[in-house]
């Protein structure tokens, strides 16, 4: 008797929703066990990490501000991932987007008007797109793997940031610390909820997710992306251009990463310094998969990851878990969700006797 | 491997569980709750380690009158805001944010909690409930410069730096001026590695400085990697932030220790007494925030005596390394004969003194 | 101005060895058609494993076992997800890096502040410390191991039957499967090898470059190793040259700074390995016919029934 995997004719919708939930629950259960083994109050720790940020209303704004960039970048990346275009350089596009925004910020310093903020935000979007255009061009022109080129460009972006903030764009009033001048007045993103840190980027992140949902499920473009991803041959026959898909997937990913970067700049940090790159672009890849590449899934996944970040820091002060465990948690959650993907596409069958089909076992000549 | 890992795991667990569960402790009288935001892990044997020692000092000195909490590995970006706010919401009435990159975040959270006192380390923005504090590390650099100037045989000394920020520029200049005072021909080669922490690059840069003829290398980055290279080569160096002699017993001449305890105790007391006020504090040898580690016995008696003299001079205010004439690298006189540089100039310094060989 | 050429060459060896080792491992993994982005995480597990093994047993060779074994175990976990469960390689690799970073810090808390003797030259001091002969005899066994592995990997891939199978699996997994080779088995072996090599590379940081443990002390070298594999066009000989070229770049920047001049901003030098990799990638991809040594199945899932 053995277990065999059988491909489902259609991906299971139940499993599509159930497996991410199960992954989070499983991570929580294993977390309790690990913490207890470490001599820490496991239930309290897991409650602080996963539930306190949701139950304590004063934590909501922190979760919202942290989730917004993850959601915006995550939905953008999901478009590419669906079309089998793997942009893993969102962190670089996020940085260059913020840099371009800061550049427009330098140009508009001291100016006022309703157009100032939109100009900065547009700069950010264009910056992110420009950085993503490089791997798109290289892919279409020379067949360069976008996985490798976009990753490499992230490290180039980090150095570009370091160069600009410590050199030409250094804040003259910054006492010679490497940082750009503070944005002021009309350059800043208004707050969504006055008196909190929840800036307009938060509701926009939700709108972005909804807009992508509509785009992906209702438009010809969304159909095209889905076909290219799931059945490349059919797409070719259908007359969809693979080149165009690569361009669109990367530019959309870059635009969203740039948008997130410039929101973070104008809504939260108000200036760029060496601490600005904080890994949102990489974490958003996880968010994208955790959300099953679906805009609404990404919205929820972004919130879940933000909760574990905020909760991880709560648990550090309440039960003194080491900070490093937060990473182990996120990795575990992702491992589970990726692993459970198999339940969506396959069903487990218990069969008796030897299977008829040749099993790929051992190197037979 | 499994067995080894498990043993480590148990050790780590033991270390962690030994920490008191601060958040859940109950007190009869309401103690002052003091919060700390840390940049690195408390076990980094450098910057954060020293701040944590200061926190422990507060617990030891003030006993049940205080309770302390801390958060490690807090990024210097917008995500620091909720962490700082969390400490305030948990009832901390005094919060120390211990790195430059928390400056605006501290100011922002402080505006939301007017009854909580905030203290930001190494920054320059203050508010009614935000004070700033820093330590005159460069005073210690002058002691190291004196030792290096006297002990270098080649007359070429290496300085391993992180970024060109005022703290590092001050350190380079104080070190060089002090070394020149005992050996006018001394040359200081400066290499910046664009990182506070990258052991492999720190090691490679140290080797490069040695290959270029340096026989002493001092470090302004956070890991003991440079010292371990010097140990292998039979040369000398200094610890940064803490006594690092366990990492390189032979090479470690001495170290500048960051001692935050006296300041943290004083500020906690001030909050308890109701005398706390926003101010900028820049303490040094005299107040006890800069300390020199025990000397390596390999240091000759006259070098030890000269180093002691500099320390004593800082203590009683008779010595200031930034006394003119001071020239910059291009030979322009920046400080008049006999004048001393005011703190306001020191805090923003961005030029190196003559004798420093640097790339920019 | 005095300038020690011999020692400078040795410094370059020190910079290049860990990226060479990790790159060789990743080369074999990628040749089998798998992209493992978890190199940085595996290096960190190797770094703490090698250090802990050395501290606990007092013998650096047990450290090597712990470093290679620990990182290989972690890589097998990655293998289980991407091979048995067909999870996405990019996302799983990133998760492995996050996991390795967290796990190494957690284990490492018990080892902060400890030191071990340097895992140094196995040759007598007269050679190992000789002003000239140290250039050949003054290195850690890990350095010699790396040098031996370069021709060994080249020979394995090119001239052995198993090497041929491994390349076939990476080139066209479906036909390799149809003629009866275990695609999954071959890839598991390649992934474990890549993990072990990354682990030993990580150990270099904690027992040779310096002899202590600190969180995240590989500081991004795993990503340079990934760039290196591409830069070398998936050939082990070029990988050796590439590793030393990257090492030379880093050393040249430090030398220029130490000598007091800068031709270009230091950030430009730091970005060079990545920029050049992108350029090389474009060049080799453009020359489809001769240069394309990239495994055709790289990063793609193996779906025999599809």
Give the range among A7-11, B135-139, B196-200, C25-29 with minimum mean pLDDT: A7-11
Per the CB < 8 Å rule, is B1 touching C73? yes
**Tokens 């000195």 sit on residue:** B61
Quick check: A57 contacting B, CB < 8 Å?
no
Among residues C76, C101, C212, C130, which one has the least CA distance to residue B227?
C212
Per the CB < 8 Å rule, is A270 touching B71? no
Instruction: Kindly state the DSSP code that residue B125 receives in the 8-state scheme.
Output: -
**Tokens 């959309």 sit on residue:** A252
The C-alpha atoms of residue A161 and residue A166 are separated, in whole angstroms, by 8
Average pLDDT, integer, range B289-310:
95
The C-alpha atoms of residue B349 and residue B305 are separated, in whole angstroms, by 30
Average pLDDT value for chain A: 85
Give pLDDT tens digits for B219-238. Answer: 998 888 999 999 999 999 99
The C-alpha atoms of residue A319 and residue A341 are separated, in whole angstroms, by 34
Average pLDDT, integer, range C74-85:
93
Among residues A168, A172, A190, which one has the least CA distance to residue A181?
A172
Average pLDDT, integer, range B184-208:
91
Quick check: B198 contacting A, CB < 8 Å?
no
Are residues C194 and C149 in contact, defined by beta-carbon separation less than 8 angstroms? no
Flag whether pLDDT at C191 surpasses 60. yes
Beta bridge partners of B280: B132
Average pLDDT, integer, range A299-305:
93
Flag whether pLDDT at A3 surpasses 70. no
Quick check: C126 contacting A, CB < 8 Å?
no
Per the CB < 8 Å rule, is A197 touching B81? yes
Average pLDDT, integer, range C87-100:
90
Minimum Cα–Cα distance from C184: chain A residue: A360
Q: What pLDDT sits at residue A236?
A: 64
Flag whether pLDDT at B23 surpasses 70. no
Are residues C272 and C227 in contact, defined by beta-carbon separation less than 8 angstroms? no
Q: Which of B13, B83, B163 sits opposite A37 (nearest CB)?
A: B13
Are residues A287 and A74 in contact, defined by beta-carbon separation less than 8 angstroms? yes
Quick check: C135 contacting B, CB < 8 Å?
no
3-state class (DSSP) for residue A86: coil
Contacts of B108 in chain A (CB under 8 A): 197
- A-contacting residues in C 10-39 (Cβ below 8 Å): 35, 37
The C-alpha atoms of residue C249 and residue B199 are separated, in whole angstroms, by 18
Number of continuous H segments (helices) and E segments (strands) in chain B: 11, 15
Give pLDDT tens digits for A149-205. Answer: 999 999 999 999 999 998 899 998 888 888 999 998 899 999 898 877 889 999 999
How far is B342 from chain A, CA to nearest CA, in Å? Answer: 15
Q: Which residues touch A354 (CB under 8 Å, ≥6 apart)?
A: none
Question: What does the H/E/C string look like for B7-29?
Answer: HHHHHHHHHHHCCCCHHHCCCCC
Q: Which of A335, A340, A341, A344 to mutate to test the interface with C (most CBs of C within 10 A)?
A: A335
Per the CB < 8 Å rule, is A317 touching B70? yes
Flag whether pLDDT at A227 surpasses 80. no
Quick check: C215 contacting B, CB < 8 Å?
yes
Give the range among A122-131, A328-337, B84-93 with minimum mean pLDDT: A328-337
Flag whether pLDDT at C198 surpasses 80. yes
Per the CB < 8 Å rule, is C299 touching A358? no
How far is C262 from chain B, CA to nearest CA, in Å? Answer: 5
Among residues B137, B133, B90, B134, which one has the least CA distance to residue B109?
B90
3-state class (DSSP) for residue B257: strand
Flag whether pLDDT at A326 surpasses 50. yes
Q: What pLDDT sits at residue B20?
A: 38
Flag whether pLDDT at A352 surpasses 70. no
Give pLDDT tens digits for B28-57. Answer: 458 999 999 998 878 777 788 899 999 999
Quick check: C109 contacting B, CB < 8 Å?
yes
CA distances for C273 relative to C90, C228, C256, C279, angstroms: 21, 8, 17, 10
Q: Which of B22, B71, B75 sits opposite A275 (nearest CB)?
A: B75
**Tokens 């923003």 sit on residue:** B348
Which structure tokens are listed for A3?
């277990």
Per the CB < 8 Å rule, is C11 touching B194? no
Which structure tokens are listed for A105?
């910020």
Flag whether pLDDT at B24 surpasses 50. no
DSSP C127-138: HHT-TTTHHHH-
Among residues C50, C24, C54, which one has the least CA distance to residue C39?
C24
Q: Which of C107, C250, C262 sits opposite B204 (nearest CB)?
A: C250
DSSP B21-77: -GGG---SS-PEEEEEE-SS-TTSSSHHHHHHHHHHHHHHHHGGGEEEEEE-S--SS
Q: What pLDDT sits at residue B6?
A: 31
Q: Which residues touch B241 (CB under 8 Å, ≥6 apart)?
A: B45, B46, B47, B49, B50, B222, B255, B256, B257, B258
Indicate the pLDDT class of residue C239, thresholds 50, 70 and 90: very high
Give pLDDT tens digits for C43-67. Answer: 999 999 999 999 999 999 999 999 9
Are residues B222 and B46 in contact, defined by beta-carbon separation less than 8 angstroms? yes
Are residues B221 and B190 in contact, defined by beta-carbon separation less than 8 angstroms? no
Q: What pLDDT sits at residue A233?
A: 66
Which structure tokens are listed for A90?
């969102």
Minimum Cα–Cα distance from B81: chain A residue: A62
3-state class (DSSP) for residue B188: strand
Quick check: C180 contacting A, CB < 8 Å?
yes
Q: What pLDDT sits at residue C217?
A: 87
Q: What pLDDT sits at residue C288?
A: 60
Indicate the pLDDT class of residue B4, thresholds 50, 70 and 90: very low
The C-alpha atoms of residue C129 and residue C123 are separated, in whole angstroms, by 9
Indicate the pLDDT class of residue B75, thresholds 50, 70 and 90: confident
Per the CB < 8 Å rule, is B75 touching A278? yes
Q: Which residues touch B171 (CB under 8 Å, ≥6 apart)?
A: B137, B138, B141, B161, B220
Flag whether pLDDT at B9 surpasses 50. no
Q: In what side-by-side order are the strands of the sheet with B117-121?
A: B66-71, B32-37, B94-97, B117-121, B130-135, B280-283
What subunits make at least 3 CB pairs under 8 angstroms with B?
A, C
Give pLDDT tens digits for A70-91. Answer: 999 999 999 998 888 889 999 9
Residue C296, judged by CB atoms within 10 A of its CB (0-12, 13-18, 19+), counts as: exposed
Q: In what side-by-side order are the strands of the sheet with B236-241?
A: B290-292, B252-258, B236-241, B216-219, B156-161, B187-192, B356-357
Are residues B199 and C217 in contact, defined by beta-carbon separation less than 8 angstroms? yes
Indicate the pLDDT class of residue A24, thresholds 50, 70 and 90: confident
Quick check: A163 contacting B, CB < 8 Å?
no
Indicate the pLDDT class of residue A235, thresholds 50, 70 and 90: low
Share of chain B above pLDDT 90, in %: 73
What subunits make at least 3 CB pairs under 8 angstroms with C?
A, B
Contacts of C210 in chain B (CB under 8 A): 199, 203, 223-225, 228-229
The C-alpha atoms of residue C211 and residue C203 are separated, in whole angstroms, by 10
Residue A236: count of CB within 10 angstroms of its CB = 13
DSSP C223-259: HHHHHHHHHTTT-HHHHHHHHHHHHHHHHHHHHHHHT
Quick check: C88 contacting A, CB < 8 Å?
yes
Among residues A72, A79, A97, which one has the least CA distance to residue A302?
A72
Q: What pLDDT sits at residue B117?
A: 97
pTM of the predicted model, to two decimals? 0.88
Per the CB < 8 Å rule, is C91 touching A286? yes
Per the CB < 8 Å rule, is B82 touching A39? no
The C-alpha atoms of residue B160 and residue B212 are separated, in whole angstroms, by 13
Among residues A252, A255, A271, A259, which one has the least CA distance to residue A200?
A259
**How many inter-chain contacts (A to B, CB under 8 Å) are there?**
112
Q: Which of C257, C263, C264 to mutate to test the interface with B (most CBs of B within 10 A)?
A: C257
Per the CB < 8 Å rule, is B207 touching C7? yes
Are residues A257 and A129 in contact, defined by beta-carbon separation less than 8 angstroms? no
Average pLDDT, integer, range A30-43:
85
**How many inter-chain contacts (B to C, CB under 8 Å) are there?**
158
Give pLDDT tens digits for B59-72. Answer: 999 999 999 999 98
Q: Which of B16, B69, B85 sits opposite A322 (nearest CB)?
A: B16
CA distances for A151 relative to A93, A131, B125, angstroms: 10, 11, 37
End-to-end CA distance of chain A: 27
Q: Give the CA radius of gyration of chain A.
A: 22
Helices A201-218 and A60-82 sit at what angle, rounded to 10 degrees?
30
Give pLDDT tens digits for C101-123. Answer: 989 988 888 888 888 999 999 99
How far is A280 from chain B, CA to nearest CA, in Å? Answer: 11
Minimum Cα–Cα distance from B234: chain C residue: C129
Per the CB < 8 Å rule, is C299 touching A145? yes
Residue C108, judged by CB atoms within 10 A of its CB (0-12, 13-18, 19+), counts as: buried
Q: Which of C209, C258, C262 sits opposite B203 (nearest CB)?
A: C209
Flag whether pLDDT at B212 surpasses 80. yes
The number of angstroms, rounded, from the C-alpha of A67 to the middle of its chain's C-alpha atoms is: 9
Flag whether pLDDT at B106 surpasses 50. yes
Task: Name the residue with higher pLDDT: A348 or A327.
Answer: A327
Q: Which of A177, A275, A310 sits opposite B77 (nearest CB)?
A: A275
Q: What pLDDT sits at residue A48?
A: 87
How far is A362 from chain C, CA to nearest CA, in Å? Answer: 5
Per the CB < 8 Å rule, is A269 touching B41? no
């Amino acid at each position: 008797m053995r277990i065999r995997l059988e491909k489902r004719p259609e991906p299971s919708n139940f499993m599509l929703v159930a497996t991410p939930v199960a992954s989070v629950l499983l991570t929580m259960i294993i977390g309790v066990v690990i913490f207890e083994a470490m001599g820490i109050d496991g239930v309290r720790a897991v409650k602080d990490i996963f539930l306190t940020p949701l139950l304590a209303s004063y934590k909501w704004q922190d979760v919202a501000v942290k989730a917004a960039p993850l959601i915006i970048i995550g939905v953008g990346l999901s478009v590419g991932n669906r079309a089998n275009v793997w942009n893993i350089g969102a962190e670089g596009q996020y940085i260059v987007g913020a840099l371009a925004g800061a550049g427009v910020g330098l140009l508009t310093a001291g100016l006022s008007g309703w157009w100032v903020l939109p100009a900065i935000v547009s700069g950010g979007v264009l910056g992110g797109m420009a950085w993503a255009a490089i791997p798109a061009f290289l892919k279409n022109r020379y067949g360069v793997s976008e996985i490798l080129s976009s990753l490499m460009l992230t490290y180039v972006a980090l150095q570009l940031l370091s160069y600009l903030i410590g050199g030409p764009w250094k804040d003259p009033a910054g006492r010679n610390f490497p940082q750009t001048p503070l944005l002021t007045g009309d350059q800043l993103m208004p707050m969504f909820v006055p008196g909190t840190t929840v800036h307009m980027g938060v509701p926009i992140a939700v709108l972005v997710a909804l807009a992508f949902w509509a785009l992906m499920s209702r438009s010809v473009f969304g159909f095209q992306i889905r076909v290219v991803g799931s059945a490349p041959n059919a797409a070719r026959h259908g007359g969809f251009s693979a080149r165009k898909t690569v361009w669109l997937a990367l530019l959309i990913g870059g635009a969203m990463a740039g948008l997130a970067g410039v929101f973070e700049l104008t809504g939260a940090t108000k200036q760029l310094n060496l601490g600005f790159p904080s890994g949102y672009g990489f974490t958003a890849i996880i968010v994208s998969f955790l959300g099953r590449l679906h805009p609404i899934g990404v919205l929820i996944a972004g919130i879940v990851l933000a909760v574990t970040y905020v909760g991880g820091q709560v648990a550090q002060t309440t039960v003194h878990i080491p900070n490093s465990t937060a990473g182990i948690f996120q990795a575990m959650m992702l491992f589970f969700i990726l692993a459970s993907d198999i339940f969506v596409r396959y069903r487990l069958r218990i069969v008796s006797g030897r299977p008829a089909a040749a099993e790929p076992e051992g190197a037979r000549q | 491997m499994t067995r080894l890992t498990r043993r480590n795991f148990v050790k780590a667990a033991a270390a962690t569980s030994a920490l008191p569960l601060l958040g859940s402790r109950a007190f009869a009288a309401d103690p002052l709750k003091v919060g700390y935001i840390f940049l690195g892990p408390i076990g980094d044997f450098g910057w954060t380690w020293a701040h944590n020692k200061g926190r422990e000092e507060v617990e030891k000195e003030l006993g049940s009158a205080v309770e302390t909490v801390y958060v490690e590995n807090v990024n210097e970006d917008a995500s620091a805001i909720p962490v700082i706010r969390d400490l305030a919401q948990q009832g901390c009435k005094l919060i120390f944010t211990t790195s430059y990159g928390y400056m605006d975040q501290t100011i922002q959270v402080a505006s939301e909690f007017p009854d909580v006192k905030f203290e930001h380390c190494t920054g320059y923005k203050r508010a009614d409930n935000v004070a700033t504090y820093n330590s005159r590390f460069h005073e210690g650099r002058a002691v190291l410069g004196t030792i290096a100037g006297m002990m270098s045989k080649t007359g070429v000394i290496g300085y391993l730096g992180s970024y060109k920020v005022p703290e590092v520029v001050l350190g380079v200049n104080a070190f060089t001026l002090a070394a020149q005072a005992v050996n006018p021909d001394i040359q200081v080669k400066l290499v910046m590695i664009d990182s506070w922490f990258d052991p492999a690059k720190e090691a490679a840069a140290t080797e490069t400085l040695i290959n270029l003829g340096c026989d002493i290398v001092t470090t302004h980055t956070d890991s003991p990697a440079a010292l371990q290279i010097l140990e292998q080569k039979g040369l000398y160096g200094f610890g940064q932030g803490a006594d690092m002699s366990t990492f390189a017993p032979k090479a470690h001449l001495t170290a500048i220790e960051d001692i935050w305890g006296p300041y943290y105790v004083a500020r906690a007391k001030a909050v308890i007494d109701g005398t706390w006020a926003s101010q900028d504090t820049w303490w040094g040898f005299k107040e006890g925030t800069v300390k020199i580690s025990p000397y390596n016995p390999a240091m000759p008696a006259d070098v030890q005596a000269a180093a002691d003299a500099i320390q004593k001079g800082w203590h009683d205010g008779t010595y200031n390394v930034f006394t003119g004439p001071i020239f910059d690298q291009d030979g322009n006189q920046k400080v008049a004969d006999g004048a001393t540089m005011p703190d306001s100039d020191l805090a923003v310094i961005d030029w190196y003194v003559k004798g420093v060989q640097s790339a920019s | 101005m005095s300038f020690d050429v011999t020692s400078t060459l040795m410094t370059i060896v020190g910079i290049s060895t860990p990226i060479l080792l990790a790159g060789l491992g990743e080369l074999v993994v990628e040749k089998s058609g798998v992209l493992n982005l978890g190199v940085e995480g595996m290096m960190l597990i190797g770094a703490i494993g090698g250090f802990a093994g050395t501290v606990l047993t007092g013998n650096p060779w047990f450290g090597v076992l712990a470093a290679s074994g620990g990182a290989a175990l972690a890589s097998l976990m990655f293998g289980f997800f991407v091979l048995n469960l067909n999870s996405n390689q990019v996302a799983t690799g990133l998760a492995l890096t996050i996991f390795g970073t967290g796990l190494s810090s957690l284990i490492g808390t018990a080892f902060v502040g400890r030191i071990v003797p340097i895992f140094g030259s196995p040759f007598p001091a007269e050679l190992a410390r000789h002003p000239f002969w140290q250039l050949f005899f003054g290195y850690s066994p890990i350095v010699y191991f790396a040098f031996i592995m370069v021709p060994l990997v080249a020979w394995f891939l090119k001239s052995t039957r198993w090497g041929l199978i491994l390349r076939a699996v990476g080139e066209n997994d479906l036909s390799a499967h149809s003629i009866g080779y275990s695609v999954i088995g071959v890839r598991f072996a390649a992934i474990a090898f890549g993990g072990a090599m990354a682990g030993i590379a990580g150990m270099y940081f904690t027992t040779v470059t310096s002899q202590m443990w600190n969180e995240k002390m590989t500081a991004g070298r795993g990503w340079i190793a990934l760039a290196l594999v591409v830069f070398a066009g998936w050939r082990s000989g070029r990988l050796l040259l590439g590793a030393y070229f990257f090492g030379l770049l880093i050393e040249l920047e430090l030398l220029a700074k130490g000598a007091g001049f800068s031709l270009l901003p230091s950030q430009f030098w730091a970005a060079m390995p990545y920029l050049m990799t992108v350029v090389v990638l474009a060049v080799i991809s453009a020359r489809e016919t001769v240069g394309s040594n990239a495994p055709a199945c790289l990063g793609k899932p193996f779906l025999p029934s599809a």
